[in-house]
Structure 1
Amino acid sequence: MNLALIEARKAFRNKEIPIGAIIIKDNKIIGKGYNQVELLKDSTAHAEMIAITSACNTLNDWRLNECDIYVTLEPCAMCAGAIIKSRLRNVFFGSYNNNDGCVSSIYNLCNDSRFNHKSGVQGGILNQECSYLLTS
């Protein structure tokens, strides 16, 4: 999660909402990203989406079955959908997102039995550090 916080600080320095994400496979970073919505003028340029694209490019595959994502804020519906579609094994997040969190707080897309893939979810990792950055 500390590495995801480094990505989040990049977003903060660029006057973006400070959220960062990394994707790990076999203890190696294969993808990373930070929010770039304002920079790219793209509402889909969330940290998770950028990290997923980066990881898919690294592996030259859209399937991220044996990979885990670490993100500083609980993913929204769009990002949770991308997590399911890319078949990430686990989601580890820092701060809970009571406004639009869709892997725990409002809903858990990652464990909905109607989807063909599920991801493990664990929240509250380095919650204080992640929350502090979001409120700075």
Structure 2
Amino acid sequence: LKLFKPRQQAKRTDYLQWDEYFMSLAFLSAMRSKDPSTQVGACIVSQDNKIVSMGYNGMPVGLSDDDIPWTKNQEDVLQNKSFYVCHAELNAVINKNVLSLQDCRMYTTLFPCHECAKVIIQSGIKEIVYFDDKKANFCDEFTVKTQTKRENVMTWDEYFMSLAIVTSMRSKDPCMQVGACIVNAKNRVIALGYNGFPDGLSDEDLPWTKFQEDPLQNKNHYVIHAEQNAILNKNQMNLDQCRIYTTLFPCNECARYIIQSGIKEVIYLNAKSFEKTSYAASKIMLTKAKTLSKDWEEIYN
């Protein structure tokens, strides 16, 4: 094998560290909460840094956010939200798509209460990383007579695309950072991925350059795309009927992964020119496979 020539471009150094990344996902999840006073998010991670589950505090599935009280410290005991709300940590544990959480770690925006602590211990989680902002409970210290659910809540689409964007910030690619988020029909996150080298390969030893005379100096031969990583990182058996949110329209290689895995919808933030052969081929394959592809701007404009 030829030795690599000195590279003209090194890896990006201002990427999110693992702890920063996982805590950011927990904070993003908290933004889905409709609780008007305290929004909490949690993220569970495996030993090999794979996302296992996420959750935020909210009412149980099937209960209307408009019919159940969001108040606290009321004279009428049944008007206290604490009897109804599922905490972020509990939701994250229940939402898991793996058989066991043994030796996982949890990132949470608020130190867990005693009820959540029991669930965490019993589920096998061995480490808790918390961002304990004491002001988070400031509003709960007062009796609130009339308080309804929070209205300025992230939509599901905004939440999942935000997860993809934050995930892209883990990429060490100096030119292009791409993120992807796979979601099932129940709106549970199945996998996240970003573009980078395969596990076990040093970011220092392989080239980040492109269009070099020596073909072995081209990063394209080594980098795994965000969509591919997300599919390979999945935490359930199959991806049938899932949808993928990605910061960039998938190339033809990723389109093959997407179609073969059973994903039925692609929501993308940006699109390269469809005149490029790889993206034109991707568009053809996705269309013929009846895999929906939606431009983010068309959804929100």
State whether TM-score is above 0.5: yes
Q: Larger C-alpha radius of gyration, 1 or 2?
A: 2
CA distance in 1 between partners of 2:222 and 2:259 (Å)? 19
TM-score (norm 1): 0.72
Letter in 1 for 2:251: C
Q: Deviations over 1:76-103 (max 9, x none)?
A: 0000111111110100001011144247
Alignment of 1:4-43 (within 5 A): 4-11=164-171, 14-16=172-174, 17-25=176-184, 26-37=186-197, 39=203, 43=222
CA contact (8 A) 1:74 1:103 kept: no
Change (3 A) 1:60 1:5: same
Question: Within 1, Cα distance between the matches of 2:284 and 2:295?
Answer: 12
Instruction: Tell me which residue corresponds to 1:134.
Output: none
Q: 1:70 aligns with which of 245, 261, 278?
A: 245
Q: Once the 2 structures are TM-superposed, how far is the Cα of residue 124 of structure 1 from its aligned partner? A: 3.5
Distance (whole Å) between structure 1 residues aligned to residue 227 and residue 280 of structure 2: 13
Q: Which runs of 5+ in 2 are unaligned?
A: 1-160, 207-220
CA separation in 1, counterparts of 2:292 and 2:281? 9
SS of match in other structure, 1:121? strand
- Cα distance in 2 for residues equivalent to 1:68 and 1:19: 17
Which letter does structure 2 place at the counterpart of 1:76?
C
Counterpart check, 1:82 vs 2:250: no
1:93 counterpart SS class: strand
Structure with higher strand content:
1
Q: RCO greater where, 1 or 2, for CA within 8 Å and sep 6 or more? A: 1
Q: 1:2 matched to which residue of 2? A: 162
Deviation at 1:125, TM superposition (A): 4.3
Q: Tell me if the contact between 2:173 and 2:195 (Cα under 8 Å) persists in the aligned partners.
A: no
Extract unaligned runs of 5+ from structure 1.
127-136
Aligned residue pair count: 114
Aligned residue in 2 for 1:51: 230
Shift of 1:59: 1.1
Is residue 111 of structure 1 aligned with residue 287 of structure 2?
Answer: yes
Q: Would you say the 8 A contact 1:23–1:68 is kept in 2?
A: yes
User: What is the SS of the residue equivalent to 1:88?
Assistant: coil
After TM superposition, give the deviation of residue 123 of structure 1 in Å: 1.4
Aligned-pair Cα RMSD in Å: 2.5
Structure 1 pair 122–10 and aligned structure 2 pair: CA distance change class (3 A): same
**When you count helix as a share of all residues, which structure comes out higher?**
1
Percent of residue pairs identical: 28
Q: Report the TM-score when normalising by structure 2.
A: 0.35
Distance in 2 between residues matched to 1:48 and 1:103, nearest whole Å: 16
Distance 1:76 1:102 in 2: 8
Note closer, same or farther for the CA distance 1:92–1:8 as it changes in structure 2 (3 Å cut): same
Alignment of 1:93 onto 2:268: yes
Distance in 2 between residues matched to 1:77 and 1:46, nearest whole Å: 11
Counterpart of 1:83 in 2: which secondary structure?
Answer: helix
Amino acid of the residue matched to residue 15 of structure 1? D
Checking the alignment, whether the CA contact within 8 Å between 1:18 and 1:34 is kept in structure 2 is: yes
SS in 1 for 2:268: strand
